[in-house]
Amino acid sequence: MTQAAVELRGIGKRFPGVIANQSVDLTIRPGTVHALIGENGAGKSTLMKILYGVQRPDEGTIRINGEEVVLKTPTAAIEHHVGMVFQHFMLADNLSVLENIVLGAEKLHGIGGAARAEITRISDRFGFELEPDTLVEKLGVADRQRLEIAKVLYRGASIIILDEPTSVLVPQEVDALFVNLRELISAGNSVLFISHKLDEVLAIADDITVMRRGTTVGTADPKTATKRQLAEMMVGSELPSPETGESTVTDTEELTLAGVTLTDEFGRNLLTDLSLTIHRGEVLGIAGVEGNGQSELVETIMGMRIPTSGRITLNTQDVTHWHTRQLREAGIGYIPEDRQRHGLLLDAPLWENRMLGHQTVEPSAKGPWINRSGARKDTTRIMREYDVRAPGIDTPARALSGGNQQKFIVGREMSGNPVLLIASHPTRGVDVGAQAAIWDHIKTARRAGLAVLLISADLDELIGLSDTIQVILRGRFVGTFDPATVTPQDLGTAMTGGDHA
């Protein structure tokens, strides 16, 4: 029998009030892609951090290539040839590809010709197409991900942990990544692939391990397993669908942008002549490769940026120059793209986070005063209705898994009957059960007349939830699509500058 590249046995990890891992077993065969799936709070993130040396288990053993090891730090993990690519890239935009790769690893090959030669060798061997002197700020999302993988390979990793690697990629980029992964495993490397996208798991994995509530509940063979079977193993329910069914679009215009242009301090256009209208009961989807103006569009609507020209109207009122607080009080809910930077105070308890952005309205306020009891009571409701798993309302937001943080934000922003919801990647990093719940809440609010601007990298989600889809490229709208007829491949082509409607 071939010796395992990684063998975890009886791994346990506890935090105050929470059992994160209990009796977890995982075996990764050399030269394979091993998928790890499970609902939010299932313990995947903790297990990854244990394997990468960020956290130490309370019990259990870790074996790397047959040798029992103690991984006290990421440095120790790297010394045992374990590398990790995090979901949120850790790159310096103002440095070159070469500088990003050698940073912190100068002792390996220096910073000159030998380092350049090794980077070129890695890039050529695995089809990364990286140019050492290119500034990272000029790279697209897919190239940045390849750069992150090259960084861990440069440091000698042969066991590579990929955390949600396809969450920001269009279908064509996913296909290209899978080509890269197959090259990696053909060279004898092993990949631990963490994802919520079950169709991609079935397409790339050689083995699948399923976790639920902190422990491993079984394995699956991707050659015979189905998405439905995997979903049932993860959460005990069938695979959800984002399809909305009947149209609920009314004639009442809730949000209108007319000729909105936004320039930076150097006079360069970030947004160019954008016009759109969202009616009550309508979901308008925005598709685009990240970095093409989606963030700037949201920030402009939310009053975080003032457009250089053009007009923004909310329910017949000109709100072009309104501040964020005014827009919030007018009934705009906002699910931010980056939940940790813009959606939460990580060290504050959940009940204080309930007030964030809503501190001037009920139940967070009573007249001019903060209403602590109202916020605490409503936090309990949100945790119950949105299945936010935490010991209690006094738990700091930092202690929640990413998916539970997301569910909490969605619950907060859907509270108070908003008239418009700005939703940037509302189901990013959540499991199929939480995804279904978030979709259901959006569908229910849509039927009641909520207008929604939906930005998502999940093209199936966009197609399923939206009444109309606009594609944004380099700050311009380049196509309008009917979700009833468009395919993810059609959107991917338009998003990358191909033919569009």
Q: pLDDT by residue (tens digit) across 131-189?
A: 999 999 888 878 888 999 999 999 999 999 998 888 777 777 888 889 999 999 999 99
Do 363 and 403 lie in one domain? The reply is: yes
Is the peptide bond between 363 and the residue preceding it cis, with omega within 30 degrees of 0? yes
Query: Are 289 and 258 within one domain?
Result: yes
Contact of 211 with 217, CB cutoff 8 Å = yes
| Same domain, residue pair 225 and 271 | no
For the chain, the C-alpha Rg in angstroms (whole number) is 23
Q: Look at strands 33-38 and 207-212 and give their pairing.
A: parallel
Collect all residues with Cβ–Cβ distance below 8 Å to 182 and sequence separation of at least 6.
none
Q: Does 208 share its domain with 292?
A: no
Decide if 206 is inside a domain. Answer: yes
Report yes or no: 221 and 208 within 8 Å, Cβ to Cβ: yes
What's the CA gap between 452 and 446, in Å, rounded?
A: 8
- For residues 201 and 282, state if they share a domain: no
- Do 129 and 200 share a domain, yes or no? yes
The pair of three-digit structure tokens given for residue 46, joined into one six-digit string: 């903790």
pLDDT value at 41 more than 90: no
Do 132 and 160 share a domain, yes or no?
yes
Cα–Cα dist 361/365, whole Å: 5
CB 25 within 8 Å of CB 8: yes
- Do residues 284 and 186 share a domain? no
- Per residue in 217-262, pLDDT (tens digit) is 889 999 999 888 888 888 765 555 676 667 788 889 999 999 999 9
Q: What is the pLDDT of residues 449-500, one digit of tens each?
A: 999 999 998 888 899 999 999 999 999 999 999 998 998 888 888 888 765 4
Q: Give ∠ CA 85-230-336 in degrees, rounded to 5.
A: 50
Q: What's the chain's average pLDDT? A: 89
Q: Let me know whether 324 and 182 are in one domain.
A: no
Percent of the chain at pLDDT > 90 equals 56
Question: According to the model, what pLDDT value does residue 238 have?
Answer: 57
Which is nearest to 353 in space by CA: 301, 430, 423, 412? 412
The model's pLDDT over 263-316, given as tens digits with 9 standing for 90+, comes to 988 888 999 999 999 999 999 999 988 778 999 999 999 999 999 999 999 998
Is 501 part of any domain?
Answer: no
CB-CB contact of 277 with 315 (8 Å): no
Specify if 500 maps to a domain. no
Question: Is residue 163 assigned to a domain?
Answer: yes
pLDDT of residue 240: 58
Whether 97 is covered by a domain: the verdict is: yes
SS (H, E, C) 53-96: CCCCCCEEEEEECCEEECCCCHHHHHHCCEEEECCCCCCCCCCE
Which CATH number does the domain housing residue 462 bear?
3.40.50.300
Q: How many domains does the chain have?
A: 2
pLDDT (0 to 100) of residue 487: 87
If 0-12 CB within 10 Å is exposed, 13-18 middle and 19+ buried, where does residue 66 land? exposed
Residue 243 lies inside a defined structural domain of this protein: no
DSSP H or E run through 469:
strand 468-473
Exposed, middle or buried: residue 347 (CB in 10 Å: 0-12, 13-18, 19+)?
exposed
**Confidence (pTM):** 0.67
pLDDT score of 362 more than 90: no
In a domain, 242, yes or no: no
In a domain, 241, yes or no: no
Do 281 and 416 lie in a common domain?
A: yes
Q: Look up the domain containing 431 and give its range.
A: 253-495
* Residue 302 shares a structural domain with residue 390: yes
CB 422 within 8 A of CB 332: yes
49 and 160 in a common domain: yes
**310-333 per-position pLDDT tens digit:** 999 999 899 999 999 999 999 999
**pLDDT beyond 70 at 383:** yes
pLDDT computed for residue 95 by the predictor? 92
User: What is the bridge-based pairing of β-strands 6-15 and 59-64?
Assistant: antiparallel
How confident is the model over 397-446, as pLDDT tens digits?
Answer: 998 877 788 889 999 999 878 999 999 989 877 777 778 888 888 888 88
pLDDT of residue 500: 44
User: Is the pLDDT at 26 greater than 50, yes or no?
Assistant: yes
